[in-house]
Amino acid sequence: MTPAGAPALSLRCLRTLLVAASLAGLFGGCAAASWLGFKGAKVNWKQVTLTAADDANGNSPVAVDVVLVSDEALQARLAELPAAKWFAGRGDLGSTYPSGLRYRSWELVPGQRLEVAAHDLEGPRVAAAYVFANYQAPGAHRARIEQFNGTLAVQLDSAAFTVLVTK
């Protein structure tokens, strides 16, 4: 090689090293963002039971949704949302937050008991979980679920509902 070729080789090596270092920084940044970002909790209920009392919802069917939220901004929004607004706008919310929201829906008639397969609620980690019940009577009819393992039981009564999570 000529002496003029030696600097060209050094510049080529330097450029390759810079590209490799840039890619390492880029991929390292992605891993760090994931590591520092959203943690959430894994939903791991062994059993989910929905039970409607004989006089549930004034002796009428009641729609129930279990909502799992992975988006922290949406979590704050749902914490204030009454059930009537949830049921009216859940389709739009699902379109707006396709990866941050998932839910399962059921409609129970008075006296009905429903065992839900636990794997129906599996998925990505969640920031929060809520139960919404579409009662005829006015009210929030919303409950936040704080525990993501054990047994989840939703009891639908005449004008309100309760949520119990046990280990």
Enter the DSSP assignment of 96.
H
Average pLDDT, the chain: 85
- In a domain, residue 55? The reply is yes
pLDDT at 49 over 90: yes
Considering the domain boundaries, does residue 22 fall inside one?
no
Domain membership of residue 156 (yes or no) is yes
Across 15-19, 61-65, 120-124, the highest mean pLDDT is recorded for 61-65
**Please, what is the end-to-end C-alpha distance for the chain in angstroms?**
75
- Residue 1 counted as domain residue: no
Q: Answer yes or no: is pLDDT of 165 > 50.
A: yes
User: pTM to 2 decimals?
Assistant: 0.77
Nearest-angstrom CA–CA distance, 54 and 51: 10
Per-residue b or e along 55-69, where b marks 16 or more CB atoms closer than 10 Å to that residue's CB: ebbeeeebebbbbbb
Token representation of residue 167? 């280990």
pLDDT of 11 = 63
Record the tokens describing residue 99, joined without a space. 């990866």
**DSSP per residue, 51-77:** EE-TTHHHHS-EEEEEEEE--HHHHHH
Q: Which domain holds residue 155?
A: 42-166
Beta strands in 122-160 (DSSP E): 128-134, 142-145, 149-156
Number of domains in the chain: 1
Q: What percent of the chain has pLDDT over 70?
A: 77
Could you tell me the CATH number of the domain that includes residue 139?
Answer: 2.60.40.4150
pLDDT tens-digit map of 144-156: 999 999 999 999 9
* Domain assignment of residue 145, yes or no: yes
pLDDT in tens, 122-141: 889 999 999 999 999 999 99
> Residue 118: what pLDDT?
84
| Residue 119, pLDDT score | 87
Residue 17 is assigned to a structural domain of this protein: no
